[in-house]
Amino acid sequence: MLTRRKFLSLCAKTTMAVSLSELLLADLDKAVAAKEIKKPTVIWLELGSCTGNTISLDNTASPSVKELFNKVIDLRFHWIFMNAEGTWATDIMRRAAKEKAGEYILVVEGSVVLADGGTWDNIAYENGQLVTGVSVLKDLAPQAKHVIAIGSCAAFGGPAAARPNPSKSVGVQDVLDRQVINTPGCPCHPDWFLGTLYHLINYGVPELDTYNRPKLFYGRLLHDQCQRRAYFEKGIFAQHLGDSWCMFTMGCRGPRTFADCPNREWNGTDNWPVGCNTPCIGCVEPGFPDVSMPFFQRYPDLKLPGFSANLDKAALGLGVITLGGLGVHLGVNLATQRLRKNLTETSLPLSPPGPRTKAQLEGIRTEAGSEDAPAQPEEFRPLPANLQVRRPKKARRTLHK
């Protein structure tokens, strides 16, 4: 079985011949076969979702999802991948939650729909009654060892919670009073989910960021990893979709998105959105898609909770405020004559130091010849008696540079 150091090293690698998920699944399979770990029980609950994260996970081609379910984890409930349906399926789910209480991992896909008491999202039929997704979630989550919200809808509400949000959709962590590990993405990359699952099974909860995302995969700014970052630094920007330059002007959200897409890439480490000449839309961030809209346009507005500002107007306004502040500062200095004082005190002297008249020179001679005066070094030579001291011409005031 991989050591944690080796595992972290694999997660951090920028280029891999195979996807991380392939390596992890193979390693977990060996560990289970060697009885180093037990197959964890997993209950996969889908709420308000397009099933995109399940489809994304299905892209773990080698080993296949079938091998994942048969050899690595004990999947007790998933409405797509199980043969049973209806009450037979829900009975299996309830029985697994009771038998494995405190041990199973609950994976939640999709947003939690709250409109009309959650009846916009009925997911089961039990005892002659429709059962809402939110009620099943609240039944299963307290007994789970870990809860993973897979995809942006489950993590933060995602597209289901976009304005005006008539379904009143929210993220899983908004309705549960316990820790929820978020693996957002629209959809979530298979490596992000399986890497998090692997860490939970072998080492416990990984280090999380402010939004409870594993720093293994969401710990670095996408913009800093982008292969086109050099074009951004040089100011070479795409003018049209399809150009191979930095896509910031085309609305790329990479400068505010934390994910490792440029290094991990998608479809078996084959490519990623910017590599296909389409901007990043920041799908792993809270508030997506509202905070990223409109797509494919440079940010026109700064959107914060309860506040929105046009960036161009904000920049102009800040410039005017800055110039106004400089003007006020200059006016105060002129009125108080502070400017004249500063210019005088910080200027070069008007004339070089030293005696300016013959009387001053004679005074220096007298002082130098007194008995109490210290002995002069041998290098000292008295000035000639016939030296004429001339007053230097008036020097121009010059400020220190």
Q: What is the pLDDT of residues 72-112, one digit of tens each?
A: 899 999 999 988 888 999 999 999 999 999 999 999 999 99
Query: Contact 167/113 with Cβ under 8 angstroms?
Result: yes
* Alpha helices (H) in 130-248, listed in sequence order: 133-140, 152-156, 190-202, 215-218, 222-225, 229-234
> Residue 393 above 60 pLDDT?
no
CB burial string 160-179: b at 16+ within 10 A, e below: bbeeeeebbbbbbbeebeee
Which pLDDT band, with edges at 50, 70 and 90, does 377 fall under? very low
Task: Count Cβ atoms within 10 A of the Cβ of residue 360 and give its class: 0-12 exposed, 13-18 middle, 19 or more buried.
Answer: exposed
**How many C-beta neighbours within 10 Å does residue 33 have?**
9
In terms of phi and psi (left: phi > 0; alpha: psi -120 to 50; beta: otherwise), the region of 151 is: left
Which pLDDT band, with edges at 50, 70 and 90, does 207 fall under? very high
Which pLDDT does position 224 carry in this prediction? 94
Tell which residue, 85, 52, 47, has the closest CA to residue 266.
Answer: 52
Give the chain's domains with CATH numbers: 4-217 (3.40.50.700), 224-299 (4.10.480.10), 315-366 (no CATH)
Beta strands in 241-361 (DSSP E): 301-304, 307-310
Which pLDDT band, with edges at 50, 70 and 90, does 241 fall under? confident
What is the dihedral sign for C-alpha 270, 274, 275, 278?
positive
Which pLDDT band, with edges at 50, 70 and 90, does 372 fall under? low
Which of helix, strand or coil describes residue 301? Answer: strand
| Paired tokens of 235 | 């100011």
- pLDDT for 295-348, tens place per residue? 888 865 544 444 455 555 555 665 677 777 777 777 776 677 665 665 555 544
What is the dihedral sign for C-alpha 310, 316, 321, 322?
positive
Question: Chain-wide mean pLDDT for the chain?
Answer: 83
DSSP state of 68: I
Give the Cα separation of 182 and 148 in Å (integer).
Answer: 6
Query: Contact 273/264 with Cβ under 8 angstroms?
Result: no
Greater model confidence, 103 or 399: 103
Which pLDDT does position 262 carry in this prediction? 93
Residues 6+ apart with CB under 8 A from 83: none
Residues 6+ apart with CB under 8 A from 43: 76, 77, 93, 96, 97, 104, 105, 106, 107, 140, 144
CB burial string 106-134: b at 16+ within 10 A, e below: bbbbbbbbbeeebebbebbeeeeeebbbb
